[in-house]
Structure 1
Amino acid sequence: MNRAHILLLDPDPVEAEQAQRAFREAGWEQRLHVVSDGEEAFAYLLGRGVYHDRFTYPQPRVILLGATKPDPAAIQVVQAVKQSQDLRRIPVVVLTRACDKTDLQHWYEVGVNSCLVKPSDFDDFLQLVRMCGAYWLSVNIIPPIPPYPQP
């Protein structure tokens, strides 16, 4: 059985809860771990502190970044992941409510692998989660990531 995981970084608790609900309804709740800021995301990715147990907190197959705009904190997370020799292999996918041409260009310039516009209708969002999960968890493959990578 494929036990690939997703790390969702979303500073908005309402958006994070909606994502958790969608993953739960899609049957992938056990594969989603949610953090609310970049510091916690890096603790998870590097296996530090409470995230040291890699059986409980495995390396993700993909990082979902909930963001409204390419703000400095979100950009810092993407750049740090992409600059790490070990972590840069993990795809970073932006999940946003809106993405104009300028934002889209900026996201790709800082290193994201995909940008998804989150539908306002929950059923449509659930469909997006199902498609995203099927692709990133089952179809796409990435090289192994060390359990305790270097930043």
Structure 2
Amino acid sequence: MKKYFATILVVEDDKNDQLLMDMAFRAVGVKGPIHIVNDGSEAIAYMMGEGKFADRKTYAYPTFIITDLKMPKIDGFGVLEFLKGNPEWAIIPTVVFSSSADLDDIKKSYMLGASSYHVKPDNYEGLCQQLEALHTYWLTCQVPEVDSTGKQLPTQSRGKLGERFTQPCHEPEASTEEHPTRV
């Protein structure tokens, strides 16, 4: 695995938040492409390479996704369900960036596979700080290698997982010893 951080996909319906996030990413030194879509249905079209997103040289698979929760058509929960339901995209770091601090929203986001959950700050400086921290964090993470379109490359290695689980799991043999009942 190598360090790789190329394309960011932002899923955000509010035009002002779109502009502020793009400005903040640029202000903190993000140089790679940032693609912004208006809702979950556009995010799915982007991932599927449908319509205007068919050109993978222009719209490479994202290596990092930020999604709002409360959006028309398909909301952030729908985006998480879609991504995490597809093995090729399930490992893409997906961060929820929402104005909601509701504990049920936070819990549901994590249950659906969010990598992290952040409440949107109420000022530009706070936004820059949060986005810089996210970007810096993901830059230091090891991620799978990808091709020129951002699609993850399959590995030929069985790695440690293959070494650890060479035999199928089986039920332990029944014991004739009596075990005390635990209360």
Normalised by the length of structure 1, the TM-score is 0.83
Of residues 19-28 and 41-50 in structure 1, the stretch that sits farther from structure 2 once superposed is: 41-50
Give the secondary structure class of the aligned counterpart of 1:134.
Answer: helix
Q: Percent identity?
A: 29
User: Per-residue deviation at 1:7?
Assistant: 0.3
- Alpha-carbon distance in structure 1 between the residues aligned to 2:5 and 2:55: 16
Q: Which residue matches 1:140? A: 141
User: Per-residue deviation at 1:90?
Assistant: 0.7
Structure 1 segments, 4+ long, off by >4 Å, are: 144-149
Higher CA-based Rg: 2
Q: Which residue matches 1:63? A: 65
Contact kept? 2:63, 2:93, Cα under 8 Å: yes
User: Per-residue deviation at 1:105?
Assistant: 1.0
Q: How many aligned residue pairs are there?
A: 147
Q: Which residue matches 1:109? A: 111
Q: Which has the higher contact order (CA 8 A, sep 6+)?
A: 1
Normalised by the length of structure 2, the TM-score is 0.70
Tell me the alpha carbon deviations over residues 23-51 of structure 1, each in whole angstroms, 9 at most, x when there is no partner. Answer: 12122254311000222112211222222
Contact kept? 1:47, 1:148, Cα under 8 Å: no
Aligned-residue CA RMSD in angstroms?
Answer: 2.5
Tell me the alpha carbon deviations over residues 63-110 of structure 1, each in whole angstroms, 9 at most, x when there is no partner. Answer: 1002359x9622111101000121111111000123232221111112
Unaligned runs of 5+ in 1: none
Unaligned runs of 5+ in 2: 152-183
Q: Which residue matches 2:92? A: 90
More helix by share: 1
